[in-house]
Chain A
């Protein structure tokens, strides 16, 4: 046992080479459960499995890591489970901004304050997508047409990030959409390819295949500056060729979805520190860079006060939209 942990420490130290010293105050003594608040194959599930495979590959802990899916109720199942596991440092919950947004708009039996925040590890971008053969070349063309007739906008889930963004576009461009909620962004993408809806606001990875296959194309990105270059997606264009929405006269300069990591409530600061450190090590590997690039996300690492401030800011923002729409519960 002693030899293994010594070995582990030296590998960790070797790996980090100059990063933070490993905090040896608390070490896991039994298998760790990664709880993905999404079904198998979803974005959150992919993140949990990517982190699992990196931890296993570099032996970042000598305990086995298993991924379980608790994606019922738009992820509420996983968070409720996290709340019920208070004090158990062997359950790591992988989620999104759902953790604080969902309790605002539906009567789920948890709040993000029931959990211990570890980090926000990656940010997913949003884009405005239309069908390949739609007549609009730019976002302003699209919005002009939207002012004349009520377009059908699809998205994942109800009163969630996609609908919040849809309502923000309505307000910014003074248009009206019919929002049609589907189970996932992938479903919305297929519905757009079939021409059953007029647009959606999918993340890059949710519609990458369809863009390459010329069934739909992005009009603009809800980002302050153009997305990073990366390899070309179609024969002539890549993510960096997509203009920002602000460039196109749609005044929403930033909208992102963080991938978040949590522990249950009532764990000790040492235990939380161990996982913060573990996730930092994961983020330093080439496999992580590869995962980020493949899923076209933005690499970020928010923890501690930075993460808390991010949550508070986002919460204010969503509260405003939800208040205007009359979604707030209680």
Chain B
């Protein structure tokens, strides 16, 4: 096992006092930027980047990647406690995390999230350790039609899944696609849907959209329902942290399935966001408790968190071995790599063994450090829930306004964020699902680019989506997921012929 030997050598580099200190600093800073929405991992890492110019490359990457782990964990905190996802990939965590926290179990929700996240990250690192060279080849097989097929699969796993009527899901998706189309179109280079507002040429930032949809939208609902009457009494109990962790093995199948989805989406450059959504969708489909998803099910937290971290970790591999950044944060780190004088690409594994294996070893150690630190903070964060609503509500508004402004120092973003708040409120009131809307905003333009690039390549023939085994399998899996709920409905209708004709029309 040549890889194992290299890994052990890596540990001798990573497990030294200065490097462990850097990890702790990195993780703590990461948790901080992760908890503050709008700041986020990419911004945090780019703020820290100039400080690393004088460092050894391996120390620098340990500091930055530790910050990345910290931010990934921190991003889940606000998703669970305040329904404000700090990162696109933690949106799916809000679906069950927030109801659970509201239900008086913030400690359980946070501990479950961190525990499964750590499991996902661990699987991701093990994958990198043993399959580095093979995995690098997989990513190369992905051209525009394959990219589109992956995104299609992510959408398909969501349509028709929720409790909402399928037509409402489609409406939400369509609105999301329209929002994603705002700005400059990659394929034609022309400006779309800016509605006379010059600044909209930059497009609508995801952070702005989710802070409004989730943060402000939820707040409006809460105000209407006089939420203050139900103060949340959260037990801050150390034992509960361990109890929640102890219950994780009960979700063994969900953990393994989500880790597999996460790794797959991280390597094929689908990324953590698509991974967490897909994992949540599939868990809801196949879990015994699927019907209770959305009301604070532990498995609804396990699935997206495991997949998110598995994908986030394994996404670093294509960055190192191919020079394709899997996420915005990876892109910043890649910029750093070049400034430190390293060239990401296949030769990195040959020329810079110390750097690569030091980094991989630090992923093991860094994640352990991150989990330990973040679990220590659980009671502190959980205690936040005991603050009365009348105090926390204005704080949420301030966080959202500052967060939206700091995305690109733009007042327009604040206005947009508040607008999205109203949209979020209306969606909830009219029982339209928010998840498909967010999914379409986040990966809608990528899916569109991939589709149109594929069409340019094939000169308009859809045959390109069935041109090889990989893309055919992905497309067929997507179609199967899309048709599954419809097929189930039809079976149910056939069994119970007394269901009203009206319902039949609505579904089809």
- Contact surface of A with B, Cβ cutoff 8 Å: 39-42, 45-46, 49-50, 52-53, 56, 67-70, 72-74, 76-77, 80-81, 84, 105-110, 152, 157-160, 178-183, 186-187, 189-191, 193-197, 205, 208-210, 212-215, 294-295, 327
A residues in contact with B331, CB < 8 Å: 39-41
Q: Is residue B322 contacting chain A, with contact meaning CB distance below 8 A?
A: yes
| 8 sample A-B contacts, Cβ–Cβ < 8 Å, listed by A number | A40-B331, A73-B183, A106-B190, A107-B191, A181-B186, A186-B323, A186-B325, A213-B347
B328 contacts the other chain (CB 8 A): yes
A41 contacts B325, CB within 8 Å? yes
A72 near B323: Cβ-Cβ < 8 Å: no
Within 1-56 of B, Cβ neighbours of A (below 8 Å) are at 42, 46, 49-50, 53
Cα A158 to Cα B191 with chains together (Å): 12
Contact (Cβ within 8 A) A294 B345: no
In the assembly, what is the distance between CA of A111 and CA of B144, in Å? Answer: 33
B189 closest partner in A (C-beta): A158
Residue in B185, B199, B323, B341 whose CB lies within 8 Å of A189: B323
A70 touches B335 (CB 8 A): no
Q: Is residue B184 within 8 Å, beta carbon to beta carbon, of the partner chain?
A: yes
Additional A-B contact list (12), CB under 8 Å, known A70-B408, A186-B324, A210-B323: A42-B335, A67-B46, A76-B201, A84-B199, A107-B191, A157-B189, A178-B456, A179-B456, A182-B186, A209-B343, A209-B344, A294-B341
For B183, B201, B332, B449, the residue with the greatest tally of chain A CB atoms inside 10 Å of its CB is B201
- Determine the chain B residues whose CB is within 8 A of the CB of A294 once the complex forms: 338-339, 341
Report yes or no: A74 in contact with B184, Cβ–Cβ below 8 A.
Answer: yes
Cβ of B332 and Cβ of A40 under 8 Å apart? Answer: yes
A210 to B46, CA, bound (A): 25
B346 with A213: CB separation less than 8 A = yes
Known: A56-B50, A73-B201, A295-B338. A194 touches B347 (CB 8 A): no
- The residue of chain A having its C-beta at the shortest distance from the C-beta of B351 within the complex is A212
B143 at the interface (CB under 8 A from A): yes
- Which of chain B's residues 71-114 have a Cβ closer than 8 Å to chain A? none
Interface size, B (range): 35 or more
From A152, A181, A212, A215, B343 is in contact (CB under 8 Å) with A212
Closest residue on chain B to residue A163 by CB atoms: B189
A105-B190 Cα distance, complex, nearest whole Å = 8
Q: Contacting A72 at CB < 8 Å: which of B202, B347, B456?
A: B202
Minimal Cβ-Cβ distance residue in A for B459:
A178
Quick check: is B364 within 8 A (CB to CB) of the other chain?
Answer: no
Q: Determine how close the nearest CB of chain B comes to the CB of A131; give it in whole angstroms.
A: 11
Which residue of the partner chain B has the closest CB to A83? B198
Q: Can you list, as one digit per residue, whether each of B338-368 has a CB less than 8 Å from chain A (1) or not (0)? A: 1101011111100000000000000000000
Contact between chains at B144 and A40 (CB < 8 Å): no
Q: Give the distance to chain B from A42, nearest Cβ to Cβ, in Å.
A: 8
B479 at the interface (CB under 8 A from A): no
Contact B453 A190 (CB under 8 A): no
- For residue B489, CB closer than 8 A to chain A, the reply is no
B142 at the interface (CB under 8 A from A): yes
Task: State in angstroms the CA–CA spacing of A316 and B460 once bound together.
Answer: 34
Within the assembled complex, what's the spacing in Å between the Cα atoms of A100 and B422?
Answer: 39
**8 closest A-B pairs (Cβ-Cβ)?**
A209-B345, A72-B202, A213-B346, A196-B143, A158-B189, A77-B202, A109-B198, A41-B331
- Are B184 and A73 in contact, CB atoms less than 8 angstroms apart? yes
Q: Closest CB of chain A to B137's CB: distance in Å? A: 9
Interface residues of B in 396-421 (CB under 8 A from A): 408-409
A107-B190 contact, Cβ under 8 Å, with A77-B201, A209-B343, A209-B345: yes
Q: Report yes or no: A183 in contact with B449, Cβ–Cβ below 8 A.
A: yes
Given contacts A76-B202, A80-B201, contact A209 B46 (CB under 8 A): no
Which listed residue (B189, B199, B449, B453) contacts A160, Cβ 8 A? B189
Query: Which listed residue, A56, A110, A180, A189, touches B144 by the CB 8 Å rule?
Result: A180
| A295 CA / B339 CA spacing, docked (Å) | 9
User: In the complex, A105→B184 CA distance in Å?
Assistant: 12
Is there an interface contact between A52 and B50, defined as CB atoms closer than 8 Å?
A: yes
A164 nearest CB across to chain B (Å):
11
Check if A49 sits within 8 Å of B338, measured CB to CB: no
Contact of B324 among A77, A152, A187 (CB under 8 A): A187
- Which A residues are in CB contact (< 8 Å) with B322? 190, 193
Residues of A within 8 A of B50 (CB): 49, 52-53, 56
From A40, A42, A159, residue with most partner B Cβ within 10 Å: A40
A74 to B46, CA, bound (A): 20
Interface pair B186/A72, CB less than 8 Å apart: no
Residue from the set A56, A67, A108 with the largest chain B CB neighbour count within 10 Å: A108
B253 contacts partner chain A, Cβ-Cβ < 8 Å = no
**In whole angstroms, how far apart are the Cα atoms of A46 and B190 in the complex?**
26
Query: Complex Cα distance A17/B188, Å?
Result: 50
- Whether B191 pairs with A106 at a CB distance below 8 angstroms is yes
A214 — which chain B residues lie within 8 A by C-beta?
346
- Least Cβ–Cβ distance between A133 and chain B, in angstroms: 13
Neighbouring A residues of B42 by C-beta, 8 Å: 40
In the docked arrangement, what's the CA distance between A109 and B339, Å?
Answer: 34
Residue B222 at the chain A interface, CB threshold 8 Å: no
- Chain A residues with Cβ below 8 Å from B387 are none
Q: Which of B141, B341, B453 has a CB less than 8 Å from the CB of A181?
A: B453
- A residues within 8 A CB of B343? 208-209, 212
Within the assembled complex, what's the spacing in Å between the Cα atoms of A37 and B186?
16
Across the interface, do B456 and A108 meet the contact criterion of CB distance under 8 Å?
no
Contact with A along B129-145 (1 / 0, CB 8 A): 00000000001111110
Q: What are the interface flags for B187-209 relative to A under an 8 Å C-beta threshold, 1 for contact and 0 otherwise?
A: 11111000000110111000000
Contact assessment for A46 and B338 in the assembled complex, using a CB-CB cutoff below 8 Å: yes
The docked-state distance in angstroms from the alpha carbon of A289 to that of B386 is 57
Name B322's closest neighbour in chain A (CB-CB). A190
A46→B189 CA distance, assembly (Å) = 24
Contact A77 B199 (CB under 8 A): yes
Q: Which chain B positions have C-beta within 8 A of A190? A: 139-140, 322-324
Task: Among B140, B202, B346, B347, point to the contact of A70 (Cβ < 8 A).
Answer: B202
Residues of B close to A205: CB separation below 8 A: 338
B390 on interface, CB distance cutoff 8 Å: no
Task: Give chain A residues whose Cβ lies under 8 Å from the Cβ of B185.
Answer: 158
A110 cross-chain contacts in B, Cβ below 8 A: 198
Is B457 a contact of A178 with CB atoms below 8 Å? yes
Assess the A106–B184 pair: CB atoms within 8 A. Answer: yes
User: Complex formed: what's the CA distance from A185 to B328 in Å?
Assistant: 16
Once the chains are docked, how many angstroms separate the CA of A205 from the CA of B190? 27
Q: Are A74 and B323 also in contact (CB < 8 A) when A49-B49, A56-B50 are?
A: no
Q: How long is the Cα–Cα vector from A183 to B190 in the complex, in angstroms? A: 14
Query: A46 near B335 (CB under 8 angstroms)?
Result: yes
Contact between chains at A180 and B324 (CB < 8 Å): no
